[in-house]
Structures are given as structure tokens and as C-alpha cells.
Structure 1
């Protein structure tokens, strides 16, 4: 990698996209200069204050308003509210000279070539030679943008296309111009992966690049299929959502969120600029889209699109759906298909495709038609939009949130079966697909020695996909590196003396088999290895303990067994902390309840930036019982300072549990005390997480890891703290802020975190606190209202307030 450093970036244009990108650079610690135009007239507020167009506050109004709106938007663009301090705002007249001091200038202004060219002309006067300069365009050819610019500008210029919202969508398309230096492309490719946490894909300078070209085709193809098969929008969203590994918003809800006008703009661009595209006619808008555009039914931003939220007479709200035949809104209808019922027992999405395309009902027909169209289209886009098939898959997964890219789905169905489906629809794959099969290659991908290989069309052979060396892909090593397996976990050898234990239960819940697997992994590591990582690459790290198992035992009043089960959980967490080898937890996505407790007890946490972590047990009517309540009391004790109001510190930790607080990023988890500054670290690119966790486990082992000594010095405050907590919960119940049962749970937690009703502050052991915690947990499991809460969570998937 070149010696370039990005310490400071200038972002030109502060709209939704510009502000979002600015926030994400601030997320990774880069200083940001965000510039926009100067307003041409005063608004009413400014007139009332007697301001003039010369006042700085007026001149920077557009940029400051845009950034404020971005920061308030949901989901939050910043990992932590304080990161906004890394962004400085200004305008393109007073502050443009400051671009001479930045390492990268990114233009994110309106999608009009003439305006972009004017901006570049202005910027070139102040840009320091050698500075990167890129455009976040979603479709204007790069070759037109740098016309008339200097050689140095053209060498350092290319397209860098982020997807909205920039923090959450992982695709980062890099589009070279005619004269872009290879060094610039290589740098941006690595920078995107390593620092921005993105999937970097180098695309060709073709309309809509890779992600939008395939993504918009897929949506337009569905628009036409809806009419052909006479499907409702609910049916299409059911068929094109999580069942095939796509986001919950599926097709029509996604269009509502993105905005119908945005979709139409890109579709029209492809229609006009790709006359040789064999499916050009598919980009013609169906009549219902034309009508919706005329009516300004653009989706969420106009209050109605394919769906519309309305208030009922009783004050409640309901969501109506658009009938595509009458173009009138009606009540939502439930969508049900026999084919989908057949996949209910198939947990892995990739294993469902074969079943779905065999369906005998309308769903089966839908899948055969839509996959046939998609497969034919992507095969014909090579080499037009990219030379490499895996780049198309990467773009769809990272930009549109698909779990599997088109070629991976095609592999899952079978390459020859895919061709057969195409022929039934009167479609043909590109010639290279038949050549691939004739050469003896029956799939697009293969795995060898833990690495993924993809079919290389010019070489006519499977070649290793570059850039994998900094990743560990558990799917690729599981079969060859397996050391132990039971129904709940797989333990893999990551090499260099480090084991990994990967949960395999539904939603990675922690039950008896997972605990047995964790203990076995620690046994194996202590005997023959140097360290242990607890990590997986599923959608979530772990949603917590298996509450179904707790419910069964509690409902049948098997309290001895339940006591043993809780003790087993506690003992396993304590083994994570007090084993002879270093343990590293690698949480990502949801790390709730028991998943959070496991992380609390590891020697170190290597968290993905997108980690939503917290002790949420109050939602099911209990307190954290796997060491979480004990650990928060211990952490409070460790932060007591001399002369500090110790009660206030303890109260903060108490409220973290009592209010079931969940961080909205790993950085927020430090504020909650569930991650610890100076010990735990954050990784922006989730794909690198297991590899980084392994490095830290190895480093701790190499530096001479010593088994910790059990703690007997936890300072608890006894009656003094208990009294304060009980008064607080009592007044909250009096003012109807919490229910009677909430008060009962909070008082049990108070008893544990105060260390019981000791007459004075006392130093106690962790085991003392664990026993109190277990006793409280058990007693709450005997309460009818707790069982109602657990049952509600199991059946409805959300907390019950009773």
C-alpha cells in the first residue's frame, strides 16, 4: 500500500449523502471539512434578527442545517454523538482555500454534469497537486467530469460511490477515469476495506456502475413480473424478503424508503444510456409507476408510496397497501404460499433456493421467472460492467443487503438447472457460461485451503479471489479445521495456537449444548493450545440465553434443575475469565443478555463497530443471571474514586440494567460500562474481526499470560445503597413510571448490587455476589408475571409490560 495518509478530508456538498459521508469519516477519526454554497437570500428568522447576507451564521446556514438534520436522523449516522466535533463546516466562497490542506477532496453535489464541472474548476485553483479528488456520483460517466482538467488532477481523480446510509451500507464502488493512476485505485481499494469498513469494488465507467445496474434491473424485472403473475405487493415483499436472505423491507418497502423518484431517475438513465443492453425494454416504466410519479406518491418522503400509514378514528395507526390494479389503497392482506411453508424448517438461506424453484404454486413460478431473468442478465454484464463475476456478488451483498449474490444463488440452484430455467423463459446465458461447463467447471465458486476461488473467464479456471489474506472466513475453514463439534457449537483451529468457538444454535442463543461446547473449547485450549476466541459470522453474535428452556423448567416448577442450569451458566462465564489461557470475545450485531454477559467475562473484547450490546433481562421479567448483575457491581466497585459519591457511580451501573439499555454502536457500549476503555477495542470492518481477535489472543499468549486470581475485594455498599434504590423504585412505581412487577424486579437487582443488607460497606467475593444473583433470578422465575413475560417474548418476539 502507498504511504498516503488520510488525516483530513474536504467534502463538497452537504445534502443527505454528503453529510452522511462526512459523519462516517468522522466515525473513523478523520478530520472533516464540510462545505456548501452560500444562501442567496435571508429567511424569515434571519430577517427578524436583523442579520445580513454578510453574516457568517447566514453564509453557513445551508451546511449547518443539513449537518444538524443528518445527525438527528434515524438510524444515527455517527457511532457516538461526540464524533461530530471532528467535522468543521464552511462555505464554498469563504472557505474554499482551505482545501489546499486536505488529503482528499470528495465532491457530493447535485447530479448535474455542468454543476460538477464548475465545482471542479473552482477546486483546482486551490487543490494541492497530488491530493486525491473524487466524485460520489451514482451514474454520471467519470470520463465527462474531468474534461478540461490538468494532468495532475486527472491522474488523481476517479469516482467513489457510497450507498445511503453511508454508515450502514457496505458497498464502496471505485470507478476509474480514463487517466486515473493505478496507485490511486489500489490505495482507495485498500482504504475502503481497512479504514472505512467497506466492501471495495472497482467498477467500470458504465451507467449506474455495478450495484445499481443489477439492483435496479432486479427491481424493474419484479415490477413487470408482478403484473404478469397478478401478484399483490404484499405477496412480492413476502417472496423477496428474509426468506431469500434479503432485507425485511424486501422490494416495495425498500422503494418507499429510497424514494420512487430516485429509482425512476436511475432506471431512465440506464434506459437512455445503454441502448445495446439486451433487456433494455425492461427499464421502461410500467403504467402504475407513471401514475404514482404523477400523483407524487414517492414513498416515505411524501407520506405514501406502495404503502401508506393512516390514523384511525381511535387514534391508532394502520398501514394500507396500494392495489396495483385499481391504484387505490386498501387494508393489508396476508400473503401465504405452500412453497414457503416447505422452507420453514430450512435454517440456512442458501439451502432454500433449490426448494423454492421447484414450487408448484405461484411462488415457485415467481422464483423461476425472476431468478432466470437475473442469472441471464448478470452473465451478460461481464465484461461490460466488470471482468470478475465475484465483484457483482460483492456489490449486491454490500450495496443491497443481499445475503447471497446472483452467482452464489445460481451455484446453490445448480448452474445447469439455472440455464434450464432461462431456456423455459426464452432467455440465454452469455456464451462464457456454456464454455465454463464444457471445460468441466460445474460451479462459479469453490473453496480450497480456507480460501474462496471464483471462475476466471479469460483464464477459464478457478482463481483465488484477491484480498482474503487479512480475513478468516469461518465457512471456508469449518470442515478442515474442525477440532470439536456438538449440536450447539463448532470449535475450529484458527492456526498459531488459537482456537475459535462458533455458536450454531438458532439466533446463537446460549443453552446447555452451547455451554458444554464452551467448556470443552476451554478444556482443549488449556491442554493443547495458547488462546481462545469466541466468535461467529452469523447475522448476530448472540441474542442471549435460551429462554425457552428456562420457561419449561420454571413452568414445570423444576427449580432444582433450574438452579443447576443457572449455576452452570455462571460457572461457564467465570471459566471465560479464570481459565489458564487468554479468552477474546468478538461480538457484532446483537449481543444481548447472555451474549453480553459472555463478553463481560472475556479477557478482551474485539467488538465490531456495529454492535448492539446490553443486559436486557428486565424485558423478560428477570435480572441478569449469568454473572451480569455481579459484574456490574464489580465494575462499579472498580471505578469508585476517593472522595467520590460512590452511590452515584453504583446507580449508573444499576440503571444500565434496570432500563435495559442497549448501545447503538460499540462506541456507545463504552458509555454503558459494558465495554472498558483501555482494554476492549473496536473494529470497523466486521470481515476482519475474527482475524483481529485471533491476533490479540496470540499477542496476550506470547506476552506470557498468567491465569487471574479470583476476586475477593469487591466493595459493596450494603444498606446504604439498598435504601437509596428502594426509595427510588418506590417513587417510580407511585408515579406510574414502572409497574408493580417492574418494581419487584428492580428491588431484587438492588439487593444483589448492594451486596445484600449488610450494615456497612464491605469487601466481598465474586462468588458471594453470584450466589445472591442466582437466588434473585430463581425467585423471579417463580412469579406468574415473569412467566407471562417470557411466554410473550417467545410467542410475539417483543417485551410485555405487566
Structure 2
């Protein structure tokens, strides 16, 4: 930056980092047992991607140290104190090594501590230079491709790790999930969906949907959607337990996949949401069906099968408004995370808890739940929801295309033209999803939203 950019930006950026590095080096002996504790405090306490010593190390230790001393002599630093001898050592290139981190107080490397709770973290947080095993090479690989890796740590539980950008669920990723289920049912006791990446999944492959529609029309799109639905339904009906380890974003198709697993283990700061309406479509991989199924079963349990719409209204509003939970606890309050799902406050323990939950399900004699019929809101429930949509449209809260999408949401989730309280199965609502998904995506306004999102990262509001 100093060499390639004109002033004043490099000078400003350098002054901030220079004084930070200078302060940390001068006070390390007094404020922490080693450089590791300083960097960890800034990472975990303040959300920094790299701590100050990591940044210095990455930038070139000796060169940065020489720049700091040069500025000190020129009177540019906050205090006129030279860097300690250990920081100016010409042989020094790093402060974090696999053997430990530099302790200024002891003038030696301080080894990384290994308390009992740390041993259950398969991939604990590592600082730059510490080394350690990574998820990319850990365990035994069962199968892998550019889109996914199927592997195991203990020969009991299979782990599926996606490799697509933001763990997008395209055709190849779905094939990997399908293969993972087949492999698990034949040779393992449970399947865990987990990724070391910051996010579980950002959703389905919008570009793939558009390409399929362009090449094969509505027929090809319906076939692709049916394949997506089939794989997602396999998660629910599998003979072995399936566990989704959620962190970061679980949006769109990623959220739909997680809802169909036997159990969810979620990092407390996970954000769930079905946000497809934002790009002009709706949850068509079984997510809308699952929301309707859960609402129907709640109404049935309350002995009010004719009032399914009352249990469904809030979820459909969230889907229409593309509401994303601010935390896993909020998603639980919605009912999208169930009472048996587990919330984990420490991201690095997510895989351990997911594996433990999967094994517990397998040990307890797991068997998939038998399919149940459930009531739908029917035409009466749809009319109730349409009344709300009309008010929102007239109040300028939604566009005409949003109204059309909302009408389709209400139609599918309420069971089409059936009377309120009619008992249906999952396949019936999945068929309604397929009936309405393709024609909606084919509309000009929906394709404009998708194209805008693919080009700019933001969907046009039309």
C-alpha cells in the first residue's frame, strides 16, 4: 500500500497500524503471558479477523519493525520509546509458531495450552503461523469432487462438506448430498452436514435455475425442481439420522435443507430465513410445504384443524418479507428450530456437538417418523391471507409483483382449492410447489429480479 498508492491514504492507514504495533510490542511483557492472548482477545472479543501481531507477522516482521523505528526517530510515533530488543531481532520473522507464541516476559516461546474442553474441538481456532490440522485433509475421505467432500473421523458417522461458493446448492452439490445419503444408509450410522466455512448455505443456484429454464423451458425446470425436492425429502425419510450443523447464513434452499434434517445443531449467531421472494420466486424445494405441514400439525394438536391459517400466517409473512432471524434463539421462537434442536455458543464446538447428537440418535434406535396427514388452511385460509395482502398493496407496503408472489404463497401453503381442514400429505403440497414455481420464475419481473441479483448482489424492487 505504501509503495503503490499516493498519499494521503497510505500514510493514514500506516499511522494507525504503526502505533498499534508499537504499543503492543512495548507493553506485551506487562499485559499478557504471550502474543497469543493479545491476538485471541482482539479476535474473540472484538471480532477482528487477525490480531495485531498476526497482521505484523503477515506484513513482514523485520521490514515493519524497521519502518516503526524510522518513524520514531523522525518524531512521528505516539511515544519516543524504541522497540524492545526481541522485536528488533534481525532473525525474527514470526511470533506465532507451531511450538508456541512469543512471551516477552519470559523471553521464550509459550506453548499453546490444551485444557480438557479444548480437546473436543476438532478444529480449534488457530492463529496465523500456529499450524494444525484442517478440515480439508482431516479424517478419511470416502468420496470427493469439486463441489463436496464426503469423509469420516470415526468410521461411524459420515460428514458432508460442501465446497461450492457460499455452499450454494446447485446440481452437483445436490448429487453429492444424494450420494452421501446412499452411502450413509449402506455403511454408516448417521450423516452430518457441516462446513468449516463461515456459512452453512446461502441457498439454491439461481444461475443454474435460469440456465435450465433457458435451455429446457418449464419442463426442464420442473424436472430440476423435482430432483431438488426428492433429495431434500430423503433427508427426512432416511433410515439413518441426519444432523445439520448450522452457522452463519442458512438462507433459501439452505434453510429448506436444514428444516428437513432429523435434528439441527446451531451456533447461537446463526441467521435462518427463506428469502426467495427477494429474487422473485418462493421456497420450492419443500420449504413452503414444511412450513404448512408444521402449521397443520400444530392446529391438529390444538384440536382446531379448521384454523390452520392462524398458525400459518406469521410464517408466510416472514417468507413474503424475506425476514432473516437475528439469532438461532429467534429462529427457535419462530418454530423453525424445534425443541430438540441444540444451540451451541462456541462455533468451534459445533462439529463436536453435531457428531455427538448424531451418535445419540443412532444409539437410541432411531427410525424415521411415519408420514402423517395434516390439515391445510384451504380456500378460506387463502382468502384470509389475501385480505392482508390487499391491504399491504393498497398501503404501498408491497409491489404488484410481491402481491402476486404472496397470492401464490397462500395458494400453495393453504392447499390450492381444497376446503379448510382437508387432510393432505406432503406429496400433494410438493406437487403444488412444482405447479406454481416454474411459471412464476418465467415471468419477466421475476427474471429481472434474479438477473439484477446475479449481476449486482441486490435484487431490483419491481
Structure-1-length-normalised TM-score: 0.49
Per the alignment, residue 694 of structure 1 pairs with 355
**SS of the residue aligned with 1:626?**
coil
Per the alignment, residue 395 of structure 1 pairs with 41
Q: Say whether 1:444 aligns with 2:96.
A: yes
> How much does 1:555 deviate?
4.8
Aligned in 2, Cα 1:378/1:514: closer, same or farther, shift over 3 Å? Answer: farther
Q: Is the 8 A contact 1:610 1:664 kept in 2?
A: yes
- Higher relative contact order, structure no. (Cα contacts within 8 Å, ≥ 6 residues apart): 2
Aligned in 2, Cα 1:460/1:627: closer, same or farther, shift over 3 Å? Answer: same
Q: Is the 8 A contact 1:716 1:761 kept in 2?
A: yes
Per the alignment, residue 476 of structure 1 pairs with 134
Aligned in 2, Cα 1:455/1:728: closer, same or farther, shift over 3 Å? Answer: closer
Q: Say whether 1:513 aligns with 2:172.
A: yes
Aligned in 2, Cα 1:472/1:430: closer, same or farther, shift over 3 Å? Answer: farther
Per the alignment, residue 721 of structure 1 pairs with 381
Per the alignment, residue 65 of structure 2 pairs with 422
Which stretch of structure 1 is more off in the superposition, 592-601 or 395-404? Answer: 395-404
Per the alignment, residue 654 of structure 1 pairs with 316
Per the alignment, residue 667 of structure 1 pairs with 329
Per the alignment, residue 679 of structure 1 pairs with 340
Per the alignment, residue 325 of structure 1 pairs with none
Q: Say whether 1:705 aligns with 2:355.
A: no
**Aligned residue runs from structure 1 range 621-636, under 5 A:** 621-636=280-295
In the alignment, which of 572, 582, 590 is matched to residue 231 of structure 2? 572
Q: Say whether 1:617 aligns with 2:267.
A: no
1:231-252 Cα deviation digits (max 9, x unpaired):
259x96xxx7xxxxxxxxxxxx
> How much does 1:730 deviate?
3.8
1:300-340 Cα deviation digits (max 9, x unpaired):
xxxxxxxxxxxxxxxxxxxxxxxxxxxxxxxxxxxxxxxxx
Per the alignment, residue 298 of structure 2 pairs with 639
> How much does 1:643 deviate?
3.8
Per the alignment, residue 453 of structure 2 pairs with 793
Measure the CA separation in 2 of the matches of 1:459 and 1:431: 10
Per the alignment, residue 526 of structure 1 pairs with 185
1:495-544 Cα deviation digits (max 9, x unpaired):
37233323332233222232223223333333333222222343332221
Measure the CA separation in 2 of the matches of 1:627 and 1:672: 18
Per the alignment, residue 463 of structure 1 pairs with 111
Aligned in 2, Cα 1:727/1:421: closer, same or farther, shift over 3 Å? Answer: closer
> How much does 1:768 deviate?
1.9
> How much does 1:424 deviate?
5.5
Aligned in 2, Cα 1:528/1:375: closer, same or farther, shift over 3 Å? Answer: farther
Measure the CA separation in 2 of the matches of 1:723 and 1:523: 42
Measure the CA separation in 1 of the matches of 2:250 and 2:30: 42
Measure the CA separation in 2 of the matches of 1:733 and 1:747: 12
RMSD between aligned alpha carbons?
3.4
Q: Is the 8 A contact 1:419 1:429 kept in 2?
A: no
Aligned in 2, Cα 1:377/1:732: closer, same or farther, shift over 3 Å? Answer: closer
Measure the CA separation in 1 of the matches of 2:135 and 2:258: 24
Aligned in 2, Cα 1:735/1:408: closer, same or farther, shift over 3 Å? Answer: closer
Aligned in 2, Cα 1:508/1:643: closer, same or farther, shift over 3 Å? Answer: closer
Aligned residue pairs: how many? 434
Measure the CA separation in 1 of the matches of 2:329 and 2:152: 30
1:533-587 Cα deviation digits (max 9, x unpaired):
2223433322211222223334556434332332222222112222222111122
**SS of the residue aligned with 1:384?**
helix
Measure the CA separation in 2 of the matches of 1:642 and 1:794: 46
Q: Is the 8 A contact 1:566 1:625 kept in 2?
A: yes
Aligned in 2, Cα 1:585/1:459: closer, same or farther, shift over 3 Å? Answer: farther
> How much does 1:420 deviate?
3.7
Aligned in 2, Cα 1:422/1:724: closer, same or farther, shift over 3 Å? Answer: same
Per the alignment, residue 146 of structure 1 pairs with none
**Aligned residue runs from structure 1 range 477-556, under 5 A:** 477-483=135-141, 484-495=143-154, 497-555=156-214
Measure the CA separation in 2 of the matches of 1:575 and 1:769: 16
Per the alignment, residue 385 of structure 1 pairs with 31
Q: Is the 8 A contact 2:194 2:246 kept in 1?
A: yes
1:80-101 Cα deviation digits (max 9, x unpaired):
xxxxxxxxxxxxxxxxxxxxxx
> How much does 1:463 deviate?
3.3
In the alignment, which of 246, 258, 262 is matched to residue 599 of structure 1? 258
Structure 1 residue ranges without an equivalent (≥5): 1-221, 241-365, 447-452
> How much does 1:669 deviate?
1.0
> How much does 1:674 deviate?
1.4
Measure the CA separation in 2 of the matches of 1:773 and 1:488: 27
> How much does 1:389 deviate?
2.1
In the alignment, which of 395, 406, 423 is matched to residue 746 of structure 1? 406
Per the alignment, residue 74 of structure 2 pairs with none
Measure the CA separation in 2 of the matches of 1:385 and 1:696: 40
Measure the CA separation in 2 of the matches of 1:727 and 1:496: 55
Per the alignment, residue 79 of structure 2 pairs with none
Aligned in 2, Cα 1:391/1:520: closer, same or farther, shift over 3 Å? Answer: farther
Q: Is the 8 A contact 1:494 1:694 kept in 2?
A: no
**SS of the residue aligned with 2:149?**
strand
> How much does 1:461 deviate?
6.0
Q: Is the 8 A contact 2:289 2:430 kept in 1?
A: yes
Measure the CA separation in 1 of the matches of 2:179 and 2:18: 46
Measure the CA separation in 2 of the matches of 1:751 and 1:683: 37
Q: Is the 8 A contact 1:436 1:460 kept in 2?
A: no
For the pair shown, which has the larger CA radius of gyration, 1 or 2?
A: 1
Aligned in 2, Cα 1:435/1:470: closer, same or farther, shift over 3 Å? Answer: farther
Aligned in 2, Cα 1:601/1:744: closer, same or farther, shift over 3 Å? Answer: same
Q: Is the 8 A contact 2:39 2:52 kept in 1?
A: yes
